[in-house]
Structure 1
Amino acid sequence: MDTHTQSLAADGNASSHCTTLPAATLWRDAEVRHAQVDKAGKHLSTQVDVMTEGQDYAVPAGRDGETVFAVLEGAFAIDAAGESYQLGVGEAILIPPGEPRRIVCLTPRGALYRVGTSLALAVEMGVVPAALSVDGEGPTR
Structure 2
Amino acid sequence: MKRTEADFRDYDRARIKSGLFSLFWAVIADRRKHDKYTMKEFADAVGRDKSAVSRWFSDPPNYRLETAADIASALGVDLEFRARDRATGRMFTPSGPLPMAVEPPSASTDSSTPRTDTPRTDGAGLIETVAA
Range of TM-score over shorter length: under 0.3
Indicate the structure (1 or 2) with the bigger Cα radius of gyration. 2
- Structure of greater relative contact order (alpha carbons < 8 Å, 6+ residues apart): 1
Query: By percentage of residues, which structure has more helix?
Result: 2
